[in-house]
Each structure stands twice: as structure tokens, then as C-alpha cells.
Amino acid sequence: MPRYKLTLEYDGGPFAGWQRQDDVPTVQGVLEAAAEAINGAPVTAHSAGRTDAGVHALGQVAHLDLEKDFPTHTVRDALNQHMRPHPVAVLEAERVGEDFHARFSAKKRHYLYRLVDRRPPLTLDKGHVWRVPYRLDAEAMHQAAQVLVGQHDFTTFRDSQCQADSPVKTLEAISVSRVGAEIHLTCRAISFLHRQVRSMTGSLVEVGSGKWSARDLRAVLDAADRQRCGPVAPPDGLYLTKVDYEA
């Protein structure tokens, strides 16, 4: 059975996350229904990461096996046709070998978190960025964020429902910068704990507001205590932007 690697873009707002669930819309469910329509038989789609409800993607990667050998552009266009009007699009489809797995073959995952620090409510970007109604110090956030880089016990930033075997992860890079009217937090790692990025973002906003210092963030990390985490950022501003694989 031919295996296809898909690069996906989606608005997570209408979905209860990536993972298929009964009686609620999910990205996996929409993709699998579209794949079944062109395959003529049920299809299971595997992703690089199970994004939560409300989390978006600019470069999610999934793979699926079809019973027929279609041209890649046909797979892309047919899936997009059958997924309408859901806000999910296959940006690219390519043939890969049977040893490729969207999750287990991934080498790096990249995330972006978008914030805007303004008093007025959001209009055009509502649901796609976190509005913080007071001024944030992006530079202080960036400097403090560097204490998170490296291998650590990230229990403080781990959701209580996380199913990972260990809270120890290696954060390869994190950056906070002001981009026009927004503040962008970007980070990269092989893998992340459940809600780790949103938890780190919420704690860094405590730094940006002046409530915490970089030393406070270090103490919170070292405590390995979920109760010490700052408010968890909402899903609205989080995007899975890219997944790296070996060439």
C-alpha cells in the first residue's frame, strides 16, 4: 500500500484537537473521512503531534496508507476537496517509504506562540492570538526564557494529564521577540510534554509583566512542582509550525 506524507495547515478553533473522538469534530476525523472517500475503505492517519483543542498548525505532518497508487497532486487535491468546508488544508503530499512514520521519524518540532499586549479587544485575530491587556517586556521574557534551554525536569510545565514516560525533556531553543504589534515566542525540541509550550508561555508572561524575575522562573523550573507554574496560556495563540525529518 503506497504511503503518503502530508503537510497540513489548519485552524484549530472548531476542533476538539487532533485526535479522533466520538461525537466531536477533530482534525484526524476530518482527514480520515476524506481519505476514506478517495480510498474506498477506512484509513488511519498518524500525525507528528496531537495538538490540543483550539491549537493551530501551519506545518503539521501526517502520514496515511492508500490502497491505490495516486499521483501526489491528486491525493492533495482530492483530500482538500473532501475536507471542505472544514478549515483544514493539505499543503503538500509526497510518496514515502514504508519505514517513514510521521511521529516516530520526526527529529525536531517547532512551535510559535503569538501574543498581543494591548487594551482593546481583538477583532480580526480573535481566536488566533492571546491578548494580554497590559504592556509586556519582550526582552525580559527572552532573557528569562534562556534558563529553560537544555535538558531539565519540566514537571512544573507538565499538564497533570500528560502521558509521557518521563518529565525530562531537552529544549533546544526558545526565543521571544516583538514582531510589529505582536510578541512571538518560538521554541524547538525533539518532543514536548503535554501543554509544555503553553505552560512556559504563561509563566514567561509573568516575567514580562514584571511579577517575576528570571531568578523566579529558574526557581519555578527547579521546583519541579506543577503548582508553581504560572497561568497556562490559552490555546488560541499556539501553532505547530514545522516538523523536521532526516533528508
Largest CA distance in the chain: 58
> Which of 207, 91, 218, 38 lies closest to 138 in space, CA to CA?
207
Q: CA-CA distance, 171 to 153, in Å (whole number)?
A: 11
Comparing CA positions, the residue from 5, 71, 61, 87 lying closest to residue 38 is: 71
The CA distance from 163 to 182, in Å, is 33
Pick the catalytic residue from 23, 52, 77, 225: 52
Task: Give CA–CA dist 104/137, Å, rounded.
Answer: 37
Distance CA 13, CA 128 (A): 8
Compute the 3-state secondary structure of the chain and give helix, strand, coil in percent, each to the nearest 5. 30, 30, 45
Pairwise CA distance, residues 13 & 19, whole Å:
14
Catalytic site residue 52? yes
* 147: CB partners within 8 A, 6+ apart: 214, 217, 218, 221
Grid look-up 477506512 returns 42
Catalytic positions are 52
